[in-house]
Amino acid sequence: MAGSGVRGAIAGTVVFLAALIAAMAGMMLVAPFGLTVPEAVVWPLAVGFGALVAALAGGWAANAVAVDRSRSRFYAISGATEAAAVLVITVTTVLRLTAAGDFLPNLFSLIVITAAVLALIVNAVVWRYRGKTSSLRRDLTATAGLLALGIVFVLTGITVTCSVTTCTP
């Protein structure tokens, strides 16, 4: 648990900020593919990868500041965050297609808002999925495996899309 009082508030803030920065970085790494690949494909890939990176960063930040020395369960945290990311993708897509999309001046503001929502989700999920038994080797292996899976998923999505449709160089 994050703890209570000032220590818990600081721990929650650290996890939120780590997840926010990681979500924005992850989304910004995938977003430039939107210059050549259709945006309808790149947006879900960017949000999904941003959610994965945010979950991992939030989990590691929680490990660093947890008062009770519990460890993050990275597979559970990533899975719950990705499930929530599907809902975020659906809501943002619907908002962009309706008149509510006129209130978002550009794609960057949508990325910032989406990253903040993902960081809030990670902050809630990371304190829920904690365990006592874990090792550093297992945590590093899980992190590396999940990151590799995320990269493969993004590249596969782009490759398949460009095989089926026309991607402008």
Residue 131 pairs in a beta bridge with 71
In whole angstroms, give the CA distance from residue 35 to residue 42. Answer: 9
In this structure, is residue 144 part of a structural domain? yes
**DSSP, res 84:** H
Residue 153 lies in a domain: yes
Q: Is residue 4 part of a domain?
A: no
1-29 confidence digits (pLDDT tens) = 566 678 878 888 999 999 999 999 999 99
Torsions phi, psi for 130 (to 5 deg): -120, 150
How high is the pLDDT of residue 44? 95
Q: How many domains does the chain have?
A: 1
Q: What is the pLDDT of residues 116-127, one digit of tens each?
A: 999 999 999 999
Q: What is the C-alpha to C-alpha distance for residues 11 and 13, in angstroms, rounded to an integer?
A: 5
Percent of the chain with pLDDT over 90: 66
Residue range 87-108: average pLDDT? Answer: 81
Asked whether the predicted pLDDT for residue 133 surpasses 80, the reply is no
Question: pTM of the full predicted structure?
Answer: 0.91
Max avg pLDDT among 64-68, 93-97, 153-157: 153-157
- Tell me the C-alpha to C-alpha distance, in Å, between residue 19 and each of 27, 89, 126, 138, 158: 12, 17, 10, 21, 25
Report the candidate in 167, 85, 71 with the shortest Cα–Cα distance to residue 120: 85
> How far is it, in rounded angstroms, from Cα 99 to Cα 11?
38
pLDDT at 125: 95
Separation in Å, CA 84 to CA 48, 120, 145: 10, 11, 21
Please write the tens of the pLDDT for every residue from 146-155: 999 999 999 9
- Look at residue 149 in the predicted model and tell me its pLDDT: 96
Collapsing DSSP states into helix, strand and coil, what is residue 55?
helix
What average pLDDT score do residues 130-152 get?
Answer: 91
Query: Among positive and negative, which fits the CA dihedral 62, 77, 141, 138?
Result: positive
Position 169 in a domain? no
Which domain does 64 fall in, by range? 11-161
**For residue 33, which of 146, 163, 169, 166 has the smallest C-alpha distance?**
169
Inside any domain, residue 168: no
Give me the pLDDT at residue 4, please. Answer: 67
**36-49: average pLDDT:** 93
Answer yes or no: is 6 within a domain: no
Q: Looking at the domain assignment, is residue 55 inside a domain?
A: yes
- Which residue type occupies 59? G
Mean pLDDT over 85-112 rounds to: 83
